[in-house]
Structure 1
Amino acid sequence: MWRDEAVTYDMTHRELGALWQTLGTNDAVHGLYYLTMKAVFALCSAPAVSPALGDADPLLVLRLPSVLSMAAAAAGVALLGRRLAGARAGLLAGVVFALLPPVQRFAQEGRSYAMVCALVVWATYALARAAGAGRRGPWTVYAALMLTACLLHEFALLALPAHGLTLRRAARRPWILAAAAVAAGTAPLAVVSQRQSAQVSWLEGSSLTTGSAGLIALGIGCAAFLARVRERRQHSGHGAGAGELALPVGLLVLPTLVLLLVSLVEPLYVDRYVLYSQAGLALLVGAALDRAARGTRPRAVAVAVTGAAVVLTLLPFSVQLRTPQSRIDDTTAVARAVREAGAPGDGLLYTPLRRRVWTLPYAGAAAGLSDLALARDPASSHTLYGTEVSAGVLRARMLRRDRIVVAGDPAAPATGSADASGLEAVKRDTLDAHFEACRSWHPRGARVTLYARPGQC
């Protein structure tokens, strides 16, 4: 479990009233997801309802909805690919989608992104059916799926331009009505989450990672190949249709492009916020593989061999994604280090305060230790990480201890950052002046240090 999953775990184990009050000031953008996961945990802890899951590993319960969501998304990509480009292209698209590194990562993470991805994929499939059906029912399904996706994470709204710009004129009016309903339903969440925008203040800049840029380039390359095939074979009955290109290209490019443009004003781009764009890439790659394999047997064999080589190349990365080293930090290891470093009666500090989330899922990690900076715990203060005492109270509490365990980031905060001043500065200055470091542990993404009075290590 890493820090974001620890937030999920903590939020879903709060009383419903406390959770609701917390969402009024923090993390409203994930509110529906937390409520959903709270219901999942309640269901799995009710032996009368689910006896097989009554004693399930909490981390399994936390991640299982994401696994199932990505499975559903892969099925949706396959069906959408079949509708746009044929059965074999659809099957290949579904397989490609399941192999994409971002998909593999978020299929095994207890956050909302896999659910959002599945809902956007199935909304896109509903759109493809609605555009050719001329009936109200499919449009209602499309609007309901998109609205649910947006309520799980409002940046699902960025899929709407990709949908609208790829429709034929006859389908634009019902799409506008559906999109307006989705936007209206999402507006209250957007207003509340905008008031909580300080939560993404850690984003100092927004730009494509090398991996994301490479995947987009791959998709554009496949689109160019398919466009050339269509030009050569548009009268043969076997060429690519316009929908085969427009919809997946729009889904791949537009959400990322819009979010990057918005980020010129305020940094907001993170690749997981538009994870569903990977469906567009899978559709393009699947269709390109299908076209490339048509014709002679040697061509089909060459495509199969190339595909197998790519899968083998991805295998080490896929294995690495299933290790703690693939995440920013490892809360399980941090909690273990805190438990090993401390003894009953010792003080405990988190620096910065948001790192308190590291031990929230592990009730015994800080047993017997006194959280010196804590004023009110996260649940009772309706915050993510709790509230902390004043500088004077904190310093007095620290000076009454002979030993203090400090759980913090591996590196010191940058000069001028919020973590380099205020209460965090009091923590560091008091430790430097009155304590000495005895021993440090270095779990993934963290540093746990035992401090003691000089000569008492």
Structure 2
Amino acid sequence: MDDGVVVRRSDSSDLRDACLWGVILIAAAAVRLYQLDWAALWYDEAFSRVMSTHSLGELWSISVSDVHPPLYYLVLKGWIALLGDGLIAMRGLNAFASVLTVGMGMWLTRLVSTRRAAVFAGILLVMLPIAVRYSHEVRMYALLAVWMTGATIALVYWMKAPSRYMPLVIYALLITAGLYTHYFAILGVLSHWLCLLAMRPMPNETAPRLILRPAWWLANLTIALLFLPWLPVFVAQLGQSSNLGWIHPVTLSAIPSALWQYLTLVNGAQWPALARWAPVPVLAGICIFCLLRDTRPERLSLLLVIYLWAPLLVIFVVSWQLPLFVARYFLFSALALPIVVGIALDDVARTRTGLAVIGCLILIGIEAFGMRNLYGEYDTTNADGHETQERINLIAEWIDHRYQPTDQVVVLNYFWYPSLVYYSRHAGKPLLYAPRVQGSGAECVVYCRFKAPYASGQDDFYLESLSHLPAGTARVWLVDGADATDFQLTLPCQWRWADTQIRGDNRLRLYDVRQGGSRPCPTP
């Protein structure tokens, strides 16, 4: 009779947990699908779309010109083949991946701590702004989070039962997928190694430490061998550090800035110093609290703390020589923040339930501020400190409604080109203004790397001089940034200005082209 009661209570508890998890996952899906097409497709996303049009063989060769490995582009290619290349369809891949990581984050929390901690973590993961932000972007960060969270789960299973080898097989495959998705996956591996290195054997344990076990070394050797075919490309990309010139040099405030971007999508640079630096001691205190309160034999909270902090600290140090510190690159480890906080709230709730609820509500409030920033366009995660208001979709719509057969669209900066091509429906093929370096006769200024995924040796979308428009052109639409100061543009004197439209960060100018032999003259 007693056994029956225990079973029924266990079944009831499991059902309640399943319902809670289901509600949390539905909420996560709702948050990530809400206004999925609200922001315009920007350059990096449009670049992903173009890359995904190539075959595996072509991707292998042209990815040398990129700074990322090709797996995300291949997954996106398959996703588009099933659902199409509409904006919601393409972004749906990352939205799905982000919802999956919410469930995986709860799973990981449950393995490390309690059911209640998993619920706390899930609630906080639902609205984690950095996760929602990059569930809306056609880039590889959300997919990397799936691989790395899954690999960490597999590692925990092996740490709990080292005699089982299947978790390490899964671990090796997921880490390999991570490395072929984004190179920062190596930071997750480093975190795992640091955790195993820091863990001490339990009393009376005679088996070797986990880090010394052959199975662990064999799993990592397998990862290295699976990545070996891509190693020459990786080495070649390392030699193209100029492609990273857009990343600002690191400063002492980089780490609190990244933590604020996790929670609010703004870097806090304009805030008072006390507020700007507050996340570091507060989060460090929460982590110490978790470590001190972890009485389980495995002490797996150490894994999560290292996983949260090690990627930030390692890249912070490296970036003093080679700037690599970009908040969105740490999305996979940022997911550990709500998990660690969820574990801490669970510990507090054991004696002070009200205090735990208040703490949870405070963090939800901070996350809500971040969500407001996301939809209020205060997002600085892609712009190194200034707000972005890309409206290339509205520029394309304006042109399409007024386009004439004798018009020519010219984009003055490659940053806007792929997005304009994506949104254009009626206008003819836009041209990219690509002036040659004076005296070289062959080398383009900034567009050589840009060319690779587009043309396979064809230059038919380049325009070297505004005086050399296609025959029969009567009007020219010039597209650039609203505050563009990249170069002194020279317009032919016979061009007559007709209209200027500003949409967010984008500018559109229309000129009537008068045929004649006038010499070019500079514009102010």
- Displacement of 1:3 after TM fit? 2.1
Question: Which residue is 1:49 aligned to?
Answer: none
* Structure 1 partner of 2:259: 213
* 2:146 corresponds to 1:100: no
Q: 1:105 to 1:125 in 2, by over 3 A?
A: same
Matched, 1:122 2:138: no
Q: Is the 8 A contact 1:336 1:365 kept in 2?
A: no
Distance change (3 Å), C-alpha of 1:358 and 1:180: same
Quote how far apart the aligned CAs of 1:407 are: 1.0
| C-alpha deviation, 1:228, in angstroms | 4.8
- Is residue 72–residue 181 contact of structure 2 (8 Å, CA) maintained in 1? yes
The aligned runs of 1:57-68 (5 Å cut-off) are 58-68=86-96
1:355 matched to 2:437? The reply is no
Q: Secondary structure at the match of 1:441?
A: strand
Distance 1:227 1:210, change over 3 A: closer
| Alignment-derived partner of residue 502 in structure 2 | 442
CA distance in 1, matches of 2:323, 2:511: 38
Distance 1:182 1:331, change over 3 A: farther
| Residues 1:157 and 2:186 aligned together | yes
Q: 1:366, 1:156 → 2: CA distance?
A: 41
How many equivalent residue pairs?
Answer: 417
State the match for 1:42 in structure 2: 81
Please give the alpha-carbon distance, in whole angstroms, between the structure 2 residues aligned to 1:155 and 1:368.
37
Residues 331 and 183 (structure 1 numbering): CA distance in 2 closer, same or farther, change over 3 Å? Answer: farther
Q: 1:302 to 1:386 in 2, by over 3 A?
A: farther
Percent identical across equivalent pairs? 24
Structure 1 unmatched runs, 5+: 46-56, 231-238, 414-418
User: 1:8 maps to what in 2?
Assistant: 48
Which range moved further: 152-161 or 342-351?
342-351
What does residue range 387-406 of structure 1 map to in structure 2 within 5 Å? Answer: 388-391=462-465, 394-397=466-469, 403-406=475-478
Aligned 8 A contact 2:176 2:226 in 1 = yes
Q: CA deviation at 1:330?
A: 3.5
Distance 2:225 2:348 in 1: 43
Give the alignment's TM-score, normalised by structure 2.
Answer: 0.70
Q: Does the CA-based 8 Å contact 2:406-2:474 persist in structure 1?
A: no
Task: Please identify which structure carries the higher helix content.
Answer: 1
Partner of 1:236: none
Q: Distance in 2 between matches of 1:341 and 1:196?
A: 41
* Other-structure match for 1:88: 116
Check if 1:382 corresponds to 2:423. Answer: no
Task: Pick closer, same or farther for the CA change 1:353–1:111 going to 2, 3 Å.
Answer: closer
Q: How big is the shift at 1:434?
A: 5.0
- Indicate if the aligned counterparts of 1:346 and 1:370 stay in contact, CA closer than 8 A: no
Contact kept, 8 Å, 2:67 with 2:243, in 1: the verdict is no
* Residue range with higher mean Cα deviation, 380-389 or 281-290: 380-389
CA contact under 8 A between 2:410 and 2:430: conserved in structure 1? no
1:324/1:444 contact within 8 Å kept: no
**97 and 195 in structure 1: CA distance in 2 versus 1, 3 angstrom threshold:** same
Q: Give the letter for the 1:147 counterpart.
A: T
Shift of 1:192: 4.2
Mapping of residues 20-419 of structure 1, within 5 Å: 21-23=61-63, 25-27=64-66, 29-44=68-83, 58-134=86-162, 135-167=164-196, 168=199, 170-173=209-212, 174-187=215-228, 188=231, 189-207=233-251, 208=254, 211-214=257-260, 217=280, 218-229=282-293, 239=295, 243-295=299-351, 299-322=352-375, 326=379, 328=388, 329-340=390-401, 342-364=403-425, 366-367=427-428, 381-382=455-456, 388-391=462-465, 394-397=466-469, 403-413=475-485, 419=486
Spell out, residue by residue over 1:66-87, the C-alpha distance to the aligned partner (whole angstroms, 9 max, x if none). 1221122112211221121222
- Taking structure 1 as reference, are residues 436 and 195 closer, same or farther at Cα in structure 2, changes over 3 Å only? farther
Measured at CA, do residues 323 and 437 of structure 1 come closer, stay the same or move farther in structure 2, by a change above 3 Å?
farther
Counterpart of 1:396 in 2: which secondary structure?
Answer: coil
Conservation of the 8 A alpha-carbon contact between 2:499 and 2:510: yes
When residues 370 and 145 of structure 1 are mapped into structure 2, their CA distance, relative to the original with a 3 A threshold, is closer
Deviations 1:246-287 (A, max 9, x none): 211211111122222222222222111121111221221011
Q: Which deviations, in whole Å up to 9, do the C-alpha atoms of 1:194-237 show, x marking residues without a partner?
A: 2554432322424527542346624323112334545xxxxxxx
Q: Is the 8 A contact 2:195 2:302 kept in 1?
A: yes
Return the offset for 1:240. Answer: 6.4
Instruction: Give 3-state SS (helix, strand or coil) of 2:364's partner.
Output: helix
In the alignment, is residue 430 of structure 1 matched against residue 484 of structure 2?
no
* Coordinate RMSD, CA, aligned: 3.3
Moved more, 83-92 or 25-34: 25-34
Separation in 1 of the partners of 2:321 and 2:114?
A: 42
Contact 2:406/2:472, CA 8 A, preserved across alignment: no
> Which SS does the other structure have where 1:343 is aligned?
coil
- How far apart in 2 are the matches of 1:77 and 1:259? 24
Rounded Cα–Cα distance in structure 2 between residues aligned with 1:382 and 1:252: 41
For 1:377 and 1:157, locate their aligned partners in 2 and report how far apart those are by CA, in whole Å: 29
Query: Unaligned regions of 5+ residues in structure 2, if any?
Result: 1-40, 201-208, 263-278, 383-387, 436-446, 515-524
1:377–1:386 CA contact under 8 A, matched in 2: no
